Amino acid sequence: MHIETLVVGPLATNCYVVSCEDPCCAAEAIIIDPGGNPERVRDYVERSGVTPILIVLTHGHSDHMASAAGLAAEYGIDVTMHGDDLETLEMSVADAPMWGLGSPENVPIARSLSAGDTIEFGGISGKVLHTPGHTKGGISILFDGAVFVGDTLFARSIGRTDFFGGDMETILASIRRELFTLPEDTAVYTGHGPATTIGEEKAENPFFDGTL
């Protein structure tokens, strides 16, 4: 599995293009959280020769979905996210100009995800974890040795809970239940900022203060 990190949009969102490196899988890839600068995604797809087959949104905020509709139409692929974030997605389309993200198109969601669902491309399979708290329908996507957490967990921080659908107790419970139970060497790919590991966050994240 190859992970390409593209920092996009005015809020420096981490957009990930995750692809299968096995020659048998035709370099199939998924795009996670295309939150702006669609040309960066296009340039990488062209240079690398990967074949996008799906766009996955970890949650519905505009800085994670601003380019989703356009890229989906361009590549003829679907967009998927957790069903509990459809209202957040609708609100975010309207709020996007306030965050400097222009006027994104409404994103057609072809499939609503739930906890335990799988996301498959090439020979790779990822598991959907429901990690609400930043939004109602926030998800993380777990692969072998790596988890993409959107805005649930950051290096030494956690996602904001003062937006619609946010709740501090819920996000802390999500992290403890779904993320901190993963192996400590699991790589954590965040929605903003540097990657980290589960072990580092269990030991050093100040929101938990060693109490798990």
**Model confidence over 144-193: pLDDT tens digits?**
999 999 999 999 999 999 989 899 999 999 999 999 999 999 999 999 99
For residues 16-32, average pLDDT: 88
The predicted-structure confidence for 87-123, as pLDDT tens digits, reads as follows: 999 888 888 787 787 777 788 999 999 999 999 998 8
65 CB neighbour count, 10 Å cutoff:
30
Phi, psi values for residue 21, rounded to 5°:
-95, -5
pLDDT band at 24 (very low <50, low <70, confident <90, very high): low
pLDDT band at 37 (very low <50, low <70, confident <90, very high): very high
Domains and CATH numbers, the chain: 2-204 (3.60.15.10)
Q: What's the mean pLDDT when you consider all of the chain?
A: 94
Residue 79 has pLDDT above 90, yes or no: yes
Residue 26 has pLDDT above 80, yes or no: no
127 in helix, strand or coil? Answer: strand
Separation CA 131–CA 139 (nearest Å):
5
pTM: 0.94
Residue 118 is predicted with a pLDDT of 97
What the block records as the tokens of 197 is: 């590991």
Residue 103 is predicted with a pLDDT of 77
Residue 3 has pLDDT above 90, yes or no: yes
The predicted-structure confidence for 196-207, as pLDDT tens digits, reads as follows: 999 999 999 999
Q: Secondary structure of 50-78 in the HEC alphabet?
A: CEEEEEECCCCCHHHHCCHHHHHHHHCCE
Residue 211 has pLDDT above 90, yes or no: no
